Amino acid sequence: MAKVVNHRLDVWKEEPLYWELISKIDKRLHGSSVSRTLIDLIKIRVSQINKCAFCIDYHTQDALANGETQRRIFALSAWQESPLFSEVERVVLQVAEEMTYIFNQGLSDGAYERLKSYFTTREIADIFICVSQMNFLNRIGISTKTEAL
């Protein structure tokens, strides 16, 4: 039997300026030199960790539309053991996880140093914003009980 979820509140309807600002961040991220594939992987993985069903569904559909494969999306929760992800993707996913679990130890020096070996400081800033924005959106989605499409 399916669980009945009642959407509590549409934050974006209550204050459209918030959505406008969030959308500007997303537009900036997509205009950055960080690949769309990495952005999609970050959004899905962070949403998996936070268990935001709406965001998992939404960003998985987005990733598929952008050329990501089902196989890699299925393997994403086990990226450490999967041969389907490149070293660069592994570094970004590690950073995404450490930032999402910030309460454990923060972002480790090792993960940050590995990130620096692949990305410019501006790209690192973009990755940090992407991870943080997704965590923010997950918290809104979960707190308002936004239902998956």
Domain assignment present for 67: yes
Provide the domain limits for residue 35. 14-143
Q: Cα separations (Å) of 65 from 20, 37, 58, 69, 81?
A: 23, 11, 11, 9, 25
Give the pLDDT confidence of 79-126 residue by residue, as tens digits: 999 999 999 999 999 999 999 999 999 999 999 999 999 999 999 999
How many domains does one find in the chain?
1
Domain assignment present for 106: yes
- How confident is the prediction for the chain on average, in pLDDT? 94
Element (H, E) at 84: none
Domain assignment present for 148: no
Rounded distance, CA 63 to CA 27, Å?
16
Domain assignment present for 45: yes
Domain assignment present for 98: yes
Q: Is the pLDDT of residue 145 over 90?
A: no
Domain assignment present for 111: yes
Domain assignment present for 149: no
Give the domain CATH number at 101.
Answer: 1.20.1290.10
Specify the pTM.
0.92
Q: Give Cα 15 distance to the centre of its chain.
A: 23
Domain assignment present for 5: no
Element (H, E) at 33: none
